[in-house]
Amino acid sequence: MAELFGEDITGLPLNEAAELGCETIIRYLEEVGCPNSLASYGVREDQLQEIAESGFKSGAGNLIQNPRLTTVGDLVQVLKDSL
């Protein structure tokens, strides 16, 4: 992704190039004024458990295919990290 946005990834290890890609996308979203967090959409921390439980129920088919056992607690943590 970083390369698609014009970043030079020559010689970077794959994980560093991937991290640069993430940073580049976040910077781009900020430049164009696009919200990039759940909080910017009005989501509050006290709502995360309910959101995770709902997502766990409705996404159960996809979660089964995940190579790592995923719990509601895992989803809550992902949501917290996205605030």
pLDDT in tens, 50-83: 999 998 888 666 777 778 888 899 999 999 999 9
Full-model pTM = 0.68
Query: How far apart are alpha carbons 72 and 32 in whole angstroms?
Result: 33
Distance CA 23, CA 53 (A): 29
DSSP code at position 70:
-
Provide the residue count of the chain. 83
